[in-house]
Structure 1
Amino acid sequence: MNVQGRNRSAHKSASEDWAEEVQSLVEKYENKDRNGTDNPAISAIHGQSGVSRRRTQENIDLSENSPRPSLPFAKSDQGSVGQDISRIRTQKSLESISTCVDHGDSYRLSNRDTAPPSADQSGSLPELREEVLHAVGQHDHLEPKHPGTRVELQKALFNALERQSNDKEFLPLQALDDFITENTVRRELEAEFDHLSKTEIEACVHYVCTRKKISDPRTKHLKFTSGQRIFALLIMIEGLDSFLNLKSQGLHDIDLPLKDNCQRSSHRPKTFTCFQSWSPFRLRSFDEWQWKLLAPYFSTTKDREERVLFYSLPAPTVMPWLSETGPTSADPEPDRFGGYSTVKKVKIHPSHHNFQFPEGCEPCFAVKKLYTHKKKEFDREVDALKRFNTRTNSNLVQLLATYRHHNNYCLLFPGADGNLKDLWEANPQPVAEPSYKRAMWMAEVCHGIATGLSQIHQHRTTEEIRRDAIEIAKEDKKGDSPAGILSNTPANLRQNEDRFGRHGDIKPENILWFKNYKPDSYLGVLQISDFGLTRFHSKHSISKHMSDAVGGQTYRAPEFNTTRNGFDQSYDIWTLGCVYLEFITWYLLGWEQVDDFSRKRTKEDDEALKSFNKDGFPEDKFFKLDGDGSQATVKSSVTRWFEVLHSRPDCTKYIHQFLYFVEGRMLRVMKTERAECGEVAGELCKLLEQCEKRPEFCLHGIPEI
Structure 2
Amino acid sequence: MQKPSFALNDEMYDVAASGALVSYVDEIRPEDLRKGHGYQNLRGLLRKCQGKHTDSKSQYWPDKRLRRIMTRERVIEELERLQAIPKYKALFAEQRSIHWYADLILPRGTSPPDIENGAENGNLFEDSLKQGLKSEVKCFMKIFVLLSICDQYKSFKNFIDVGICDDDLPLRFEKTEDDELKLQDDFPDRVELFSDWNLPTVELFERTQYELLIPYLSHPHSDEKFIRHVQYGPETILPWKEDLSKQTQGGYGLISCIRIHPDSHGFHPFEQVKAAGGLFALKHITAEKIGNFENESQMLRMFCNYHKHFVKLLITLNIEDRNYLLFPWAGCDLETYWSSKDPPYDTEKKCMKPMRMKWLSEQIKGLVSALHKFHNPSMDLLSDKVERYARHGDLKPENILWFKSDRDEDGILVIGDLGISAINRKESRSNIPNHSVPHSPDYRPPECDQQGGTISRAFDIWTLGCLLLEMVCWALGGQALLREFGLRRMVPYLGVLTNIFFDVKKTWNGRAAILVKEVVVEWMSRLHNHERCTEYFQDLLDAIHDHMIVVLSKEAERIQSGPLLEKITLMDQKVVLPEYGEWPSSKRRSYPDPVAVETYLNENAAGRFKGCHNHLNQFAGDIQKGKTPVEMEKIK
| Same structural fold, with TM-score higher than 0.5 when normalized by the shorter chain | yes
* Distance in 1 separating the partners of 2:69 and 2:539: 64
Structure 1 position 657, deviation (Å): 0.5
CA distance in 2, matches of 1:309, 1:191: 43
Equivalences for residues 615-626 of structure 1 within 5 A: 617-626=496-505
Question: Is residue 403 from structure 1 mapped to residue 325 from structure 2 by the alignment?
Answer: no
Residue 312 of structure 1, CA deviation = 0.6
Structure 1 counterpart of 2:19: none
**Of 518, 529, 535, the match for 1:636:** 518
1:526 aligns with 2:413: yes
Q: Does 1:189 align with 2:79?
A: yes
Deviation at 1:171, TM superposition (A): 2.2
How far is 1:172 from its partner? 3.3
Match of 2:66 in 1: 176
Q: Is the 8 A contact 2:150 2:205 kept in 1?
A: yes
For the Cα contact (< 8 Å) 2:387–2:425, is it kept in 1? Answer: yes
The amino acid across from 1:408 in the alignment is: R
The letter of the residue matching 1:637 is V
Give the Cα separation in 2 of the matches to 1:597 and 1:649: 17
Q: For residues 537-616 of structure 1, what are the structure 2 equivalents within 5 Å?
A: 537-547=424-434, 548-602=436-490, 604=491, 606=492, 608-609=493-494, 614=495
Distance 1:653 1:401 in 2: 43
Alignment deviations for residues 565-604 of structure 1 (CA, whole Å, 9 cap, x no partner): 33211110000000000001000011122122111111x2
Task: Percent identity, please.
Answer: 25
1:698 matched residue in structure 2: 581
TM-superposed deviation, 1:463: 6.5
Q: Which TM-score applies when normalising by structure 2?
A: 0.75
Alignment partner of 1:232 is 2:145:
yes
Aligned-residue CA RMSD (Å):
3.4
2:545 is the counterpart of 1:655: no
Q: How big is the shift at 1:680?
A: 1.6
Are 1:506 and 2:395 counterparts? yes
In structure 1, the residue matched to 2:595 is: none
Paired with 2:23 and 2:359, the residues of 1 have a C-alpha distance of: 35
The 1-side partners of 2:388 and 2:221 are apart by 24
Output the CA distance in 2 between the equivalents of 1:656 and 1:270: 79
1:380 equivalent among 295, 313, 320: 295
CA distance in 2, matches of 1:668, 1:399: 33
User: Following TM superposition, by how much is the alpha carbon of 1:233 offset from its aligned partner in structure 2, in angstroms?
Assistant: 2.5
2:393 aligned partner, one-letter code: G
> Is the Cα–Cα contact under 8 Å of residues 367 and 410 in structure 1 kept in the other structure?
yes
* 1:517/1:524 contact within 8 Å kept: yes
Partner in structure 1 of residue 47 of structure 2: 155
Of 314, 329, 337, the match for 1:423: 337
Aligned length: 530
Q: Which amino acid aligns with 2:502?
A: F
1:442-453 to structure 2, matched below 5 A, reads 442-453=360-371
Q: Report which structure shows greater RCO (CA 8 Å, sep ≥6).
A: 2
Aligned to 1:674: 558
2:396–2:463 contact (8 Å) kept in structure 1: yes
CA contact (8 A) 1:372 1:408 kept: yes
- Post-superposition offset of 1:524: 1.4
> TM-score scaled by structure 1?
0.68
Q: Residue 254 of structure 2 aligns to which amino acid in structure 1?
A: T
1:438 aligns with 2:356: yes
Contact 1:622 1:638 in 2 (8 A): yes
Using a 3 Å threshold, how does the CA distance of structure 1 residues 562 and 219 change in structure 2: closer, same or farther?
A: closer
Matched letter for residue 390 of structure 2: G
Structure 2 residue matching 1:626: 3-state secondary structure? strand
Paired AA for residue 394 in structure 1:
K
> Which string of whole-angstrom CA distances, capped at 9 and with x for unpartnered residues, describes residues 338-368 of structure 1?
xxx2212222222111111449743322111
Structure 2 residue 245 is the aligned partner of structure 1 residue 346:
no
1:373 CA displacement: 5.7
Give the residue type in structure 2 aligned to 1:451: S
Structure 1 residue 647, shift from structure 2 partner: 1.3
Which whole-Å CA distance do the structure 1 matches of 2:239 and 2:319 have between them? Answer: 13
In 1, the alpha carbon distance for the partners of 2:246 and 2:222 equals 35
In structure 1, the partner of 2:227 is: 308
Distance across 2 between alignment mates of 1:399 and 1:270: 43
- Residues 286 and 445 of structure 1: is their aligned pair in 2 closer, same or farther, counting only changes over 3 Å? same
The 1:318–1:664 alpha-carbon spacing in structure 2 relative to 1, beyond 3 Å, is same
Where structure 1 has 5 or more consecutive residues not aligned to the other structure, the ranges are 1-30, 46-81, 83-121, 134-147, 336-340, 469-495
Measure, in 1, the Cα distance between the counterparts of 2:148 and 2:7.
22
**Letter of the aligned partner of 2:202 in structure 1?**
L
What is the identity, as a one-letter code, of the residue corresponding to 2:532? Answer: D
SS of the residue corresponding to residue 173 of structure 2 reads coil
Q: Residue 210 of structure 2 aligns with which residue? A: 291
- What is the DSSP-based 3-state SS (H/G/I as helix, E as strand, rest coil) of the residue aligned with 1:497? coil
> 1:224-279 CA distances to partner (integer Å, 9 max, x unpaired)?
3543333223222323322222222333333333223386699x999852234432
